[in-house]
Chain A
Amino acid sequence: MKDTQSNSDILVIGAGIAGIEASLMLSKSDRKVHLVEKTSYTGGTTIKFEDVFSNMECSTCMVAPIQQELLQDKNINLLTLAEVEDVQGSFGNFIVKIHQKARYVDMKNCIGCNACFEPCPVRLKNEFEEGLSERKAIYVPCAGALPNVPMIDTEHCLRFNGKDCHACQEVCMFEAIDFNQKDEQITLTIGAIIVATGYTTFDSRQTPQYGYGKIDDVYTAFEFERLYASNGPTEGKILLKNGKTPKSAALIHCVGRNIKGYCSSVCCMYSLKFNHYLTLKIPEIKISEFYTDLCIPGKSHQKFYEKIRETGTKLIRASDIEITKQGQGIVIKYNDERGKKNSTTVDMVILAPAIVPNGDASKLAKILGVTIDEYGFFKEENQNVSSVVTSKPGVFIVGCSQGPKNIQESVSQAAASVGKILSTY
C-alpha cells in the first residue's frame, strides 16, 4: 500500500477517549482527521465517571484537557451529531458519505452561556443522566460537556412539532439559535478508517432475578456513576428514591455474564471503585459485595482491592443470587461458597452489567465491510498479528468496539492504530 495516489486523510469514528487519542496523535503527524461522533458531545462514556480506577483520578479533569485540545486542533474536523452512511473504495482511497444532523445552534456564535435552557417549556428525561434528571428540548447532556454548545431535540421541540415557540431564540443574545439549519450530506475522500465506537452495557432487565426495573433502589453501574458524579442529577449525593441516605448497599458483579458468555474484564475493578465511592460519601455504610471470580489483572489492581478489603466490607463469593423487595428492605438471597443458602437485607443494590457492543455496531460493520464476531464486537483479523487490524485493509478497530477493556488498553489500541497507519503509508 504505497500508492502515490493515496489520500493521507483519516476518518475516525467515535469521539470517546480512544477516538480522541487517535485523532490527536494523527494531527501531530500533520494528518488531516475527520472525527465523526454520533452524539452532540465528545468524551464518550469516560465523562460519565466521577473517578477512574485504580488511581481514583477525577475523570473529567483527566479528559477535559484533551477534549479542549481536540476542539482547538486545526487538523481535526470534528463532526458531531454525525453518522457514517456509506463507504466505498479501498485502503488509500475510501469515499465516505456522512449524514450530519442539524444542531440548530450555531457552533461559531454560541458561547455556551446556557441562557436558552430556562425558557424552554419542554421537560424530558435526560438520557445522559440515565433518566435520573430532566432536560429541556434544547440542552447539553451535562455541565461541562464539550463542545459546550447545546442542541435542539427536534423530536420534542414544540417548534418542530407545529407550535409557534421561539422561547430559546428570544433569549439568545448571540443569534446562535438557527431554526433554518438543515441536515447535511458530507462526502469525504480519505485514506484509512479507525473505528472507535465504544460500548454500552448489558440491559439488566434481561436478568429478572436481580429485580432491576421492578424494585426501586436497584441501580445499574451507569446510573450509580451519575448518582455519584458531582455534575450529576444529585450533585454527587447518594440517595435512595425516598430521599434518605442508604445505610447498607450490595454490589452485584457479573450481571449478564452467563448470557453473554464472556468476562467483561472491568466490572470487578469498577465495583470495587463503587465500594470506595460509597464509603467515601457514607463512612458508616455497610457494604456486601457479591462476586464469582475476582478478575483484577495487572500490576496495580490488587493493591486497590486490598485497600478496599481493609475497610471491613463483606466480600461474598456467591451464586444463584435473587433479589426481592420485602417491606422497606431489599433482600438478597444467594448460595455462598460452600453451597449453603443465605440471605441479607440492604437499602440499595448496584448491578455491574456486562460490557456489550453498541447497538449500531453491526450496521456500521456492514457499511464498512468488516466482520462482527459472535458477541457482536468488531472482529480483529488475528489478535496474534494485531488486534486493531480487521479483515479489510485500511479499516482499524480500537477500544471497546473490539471487545471489553479498560481505559489504558483502549488508549493503547488507539495509539497502536496510529502506529499501523503511520508505518504503512
Chain B
Amino acid sequence: MNRKIGVYICECGPNISEKIDIDKVIEAVRFLNDIVVVERYKLLCSEDGKKYLTEQIKRYGLTHLIIAACSPRDHQLTFMEVCENAGINPYLFQLANIREQCVWITADKEEATKKAIRLTKAAIGRVRCHSPLEKKEMESNPDVLIVGGGIAGIETSLQLAHSDRKIYLVEKTASLGGLIKNFEKTYPEMHPCSISIQQKIETINKTNNIKIFTDSEVEDILGFFGNFEIKVKKNTNEKDSVSFNVGAVVFATGSTLFNPNKTTCYGYGKFDNVLTALEFEKMNLSGEIVLKNNKTPKSVAIIHCVGRTEKGYCSEICCMYSLKFARYLKDKIPDIKVFNFYSDLCIPGKTHQKFYEQTQGKNIDFIRAKNIEIAKKGEHLTITYNDEKSGKNNYDVDMVILSPALEPTADTARLAEFTGISLGDGGFFAEEHEKLGPVSTSSQGVFIAGCSQGPKSIPDTIIQAEAVTGKILSSLIPGKKIEPEVKVSFISESFCIGCKTCLDVCSYGAITFNETKKVSVVNEVICRGCGNCVAACPSGAITLKHFTFNQIYQELKAAIQ
C-alpha cells in the first residue's frame, strides 16, 4: 500500500508551543518514510482546526493521520470524526499525547521536546501498521427470556411486555409468586403483600405477549446479545421441550434460606416449635399462630443472624423481618412476650429505625447475645446465651423462630455456566461492576435482578427489576441494529495448537473450540477486545485487532530508538 502520512502538531495555544520546540519535532519526523506533510497549527480541536485538517487531508490525499496534541481522552473521538468525514478510515489515525505526557509533567523544555519527538515517532511507527477496521451492524431479536417467577421476574415481565416485544417467563415451581407470596405483610408500612402479589399474577396472566412456563426449567442457552437460542423443558415431562429465540436473558432466580440443620445449636429439626422464618410466615398467613400441641404460645424468641457466620455475610433483611414477626405476634396474640436475640441491629435506610422504635416496647425485648443454644425443657424451649456483659443467661419460651441467612438458589451455578458469567461473593451471580453495573453481567445481554445478585429487600428487588427494564429498553430496541465491538481478537487456525488456554481466560465466553478442526474460534460479536486471550496464548496464535504484535512492536521500537 502506498502510504501518505500527514503529521499535525497542535500548539494548543501557548500550552504546547511555549513548552516544546515544535520546529525541532517537525525537523525530527519530516524525512521519515511515507511522511508527505508535517505542519503545526494553533488549535486543532477548534472548528477552524477541524476544517483545516479536512482540507489538508484532501489536498495531500492523505491515507493516514497523526496528531500530536492532548490526551486521547479529550479529543480522540474529535479527530476520528474528522477522519471519517474526510474519507480516511478512523482507525488509520493515531494521537500522540505531547501535552499531558510531555509539557504538563516537566518545566524542562529540552526534555519535553525530546519526549515529544519520541512519542510522535512512536505514533508514526504504529500507524504504518494500522489496518482499516469497519463497524459492523447486526439484526437483533427484541424478545426477552426471564428465568424465575418471583417478584423480580414478575416486575421485569410486566414492565417489559409491550406490543413489539415478547416475554418468556420460566418458573420451575407450579406457580408464580416466589417466596413473597407467603408473606402476609411487608415492612415497614405493613402493607398487605400476598394479596398484592396475587393481583400482579392476575395482571401477568392477562397480559398479551407474556408466555408463562411453570414447572419448567431452562435447559440450554446458546448465542449472544441480540440472538440467544433458548431451550426450555417441562419438569413434569422430560420429552416436552420447546425452543425459541430471544435477544436478552434475565436471571431472577431469587434466593433460598440457609438450612439451620447445619448448625446444631438451634435444635432445628430436633425440637418441636423451632421454626424457620419462612415456616413462620406461612403459619402466620394461614391465620393462626399455634404450637404443635395447638395451644397459643405465650412467649416467643426470634433468633437473628442464623447462619451468618457460616455464610460470611450479613443478609440485610433479617433484622427488619424479625421486627415484622414481632408485630405479627403482637397483632395476633396481644399479651405475648417476644425476645429478639441479635448481634448487630442492621436497619439501614430512612424508614427502618422508626419501625424499630415503634416495635420496641411493652413485652418486645431486644437482647444482644452471643453463643446462643437451644435446649428442650419439658413443654418449653430454653435459650442459653452470653449477654453483653459476657454473663451466662437463659430464658424459657414456647416457640423459637430462626432468621436464617439468604443464599442463592440451586440453579444459580448451572445458569451461570450456560451463559459464561461468574459467581461472586456468597455464590450469588457476579454483577458486571460492583458500583456501575449492578444488574448487568460480563456476558452482554445477560442481566440479573433481585436476590440472585445478593440479599436484598422487596423495594430493592423491584428497583433492580426496573433497572434491568431500563437496560434492556435502552440497548435492545425493536428494529434497531446493534453494533458489536470493532477491536476484537482473532485466532489463526494454522498457529493454534488447540490447548484451550484461551477458553479459560475469556471472561465473556467469546471463545469456543472447534472439535473437528481442533482449534479455538472467537465469536466476534461477543468479544469485547480485552486482550486476555492474546496474552495467555502460548503459541502466539491470537491477535487483537488494532493492538497487533507488530503495531505495538513498531510503536515501541520507534519510541526507544
Chain A contacts to B: CB under 8 angstroms: 17, 21, 25-26, 28-30, 52, 54-55, 57, 62, 64, 66, 68, 72, 111, 113, 115, 173-174, 257, 261-265, 293-303, 306, 337-339, 373, 375, 377, 382-388, 403-405, 407-409, 411-423
Contact = CB atoms under 8 A, between A and B. Distances in A.
Contacts of A174: 13, 43
B43 A111 contact: yes
B351, B458, B475 interface centre (most CB from chain A within 10 Å) = B351
A386 B466 contact: yes
A404 B352 CA distance: 12
A19 to B, nearest CB: 14
- Nearest first, the 5 A-B pairs at minimum CB distance are A419-B470, A265-B348, A419-B469, A416-B466, A297-B316
Contact of B424 (A111, A299, A383): A299
A418 B470 contact: yes
B15 interface: yes
A423 B473 contact: yes
Contact of B350 (A113, A294, A375): A375
A298 B15 contact: no
A423 B426 contact: no
Nearest to B15: A113
A411 B350 CA distance: 18
Interface stretch (B202-210, B324-332, B435-443): B435-443
A302, A306, A387, A415 interface centre (most CB from chain B within 10 Å) = A415
Interface in B421-457: 424-426, 428, 434-439, 454-456
Contact of B470 (A30, A377, A422): A422
Contacts of A62: 435-436
A416 B389 contact: no
B462 interface: yes
Nearest to B103: A113
B467 A408 contact: no
Contact of A299 (B186, B426, B463, B475): B426
B469 A422 contact: yes
B350 A296 contact: no
Given A262-B349, A417-B470, A55 B462 contact: no
Given A293-B346, A421-B470, 19 more contacts: A52-B435, A55-B435, A68-B73, A72-B77, A111-B13, A257-B353, A295-B344, A297-B455, A299-B424, A299-B428, A302-B314, A382-B189, A384-B193, A412-B439, A412-B460, A415-B467, A415-B470, A416-B463, A418-B467
7 contacts: A57-B435, A115-B15, A302-B308, A306-B312, A415-B471, A420-B466, A420-B469
Contact of A388 (B186, B196, B466): B466
A28 B458 CA distance: 28
Contacts of A173: 13-14
Contacts of B425: 299-300, 303
B437, B454, B466 interface centre (most CB from chain A within 10 Å) = B466
A415 B466 contact: yes
Given A415-B466, A418-B470, A423-B473, A384 B352 contact: no
A258 B456 CA distance: 25
Given A262-B354, A293-B345, A299-B455, A412 B464 contact: yes
Contacts of A299: 313, 424-426, 428, 454-455
A290 to B, nearest CB: 14
Contacts of B139: none
B36 interface: no
A416 B353 contact: no
A303 B469 contact: no
A416 B77 CA distance: 30
Contacts of B14: 113, 115, 173
Contacts, number: 208
A294 B319 CA distance: 12
B191 interface: yes
Contact of A404 (B315, B350, B437): B350
A295 B356 CA distance: 14
B348 A384 contact: no
B496 interface: no
Contacts of A387: 459, 462-463
Nearest to A54: B434
Contacts of B314: 296-298, 301-302
Contacts of A409: 438, 460, 463
Nearest to B431: A408
Given A26-B474, A412-B439, A300 B434 contact: yes
A92 B316 CA distance: 38
B13 A113 contact: yes
A264 B390 CA distance: 29
Interface in B1-35: 12-15
B259 interface: no
B474 A28 contact: yes
B414 interface: no
B388 A296 contact: no
B347 interface: yes
B160 interface: yes
A419 B466 contact: yes
A262 B459 CA distance: 18
Nearest to B354: A261
Interface in B172-229: 186, 189, 191, 193, 196
B98 interface: no
B477 interface: yes
B463 A411 contact: no
B436 A25 contact: no
B46 to A, nearest CB: 8
B371 to A, nearest CB: 15
B302 interface: no
Given A52-B435, A407-B435, A263 B353 contact: yes
A385 B461 CA distance: 11
A422 B474 contact: yes
B350 A377 contact: yes
Nearest to B353: A262
A15 B455 CA distance: 29
A68, A299, A302, A413 interface centre (most CB from chain B within 10 Å) = A299
A83 B351 CA distance: 29
Contacts of A28: 474-475
B350 A29 contact: no
B352 A262 contact: yes
Interface string B61-82: 0000000001001000100000
A17, A261, A298, A303 interface centre (most CB from chain B within 10 Å) = A298
B304 to A, nearest CB: 11
Nearest to B460: A409
B159 interface: yes
B473 A422 contact: yes
A421 B465 CA distance: 14
Contacts of A300: 313, 424-425, 434, 454
B53 interface: no
A294 B466 CA distance: 30
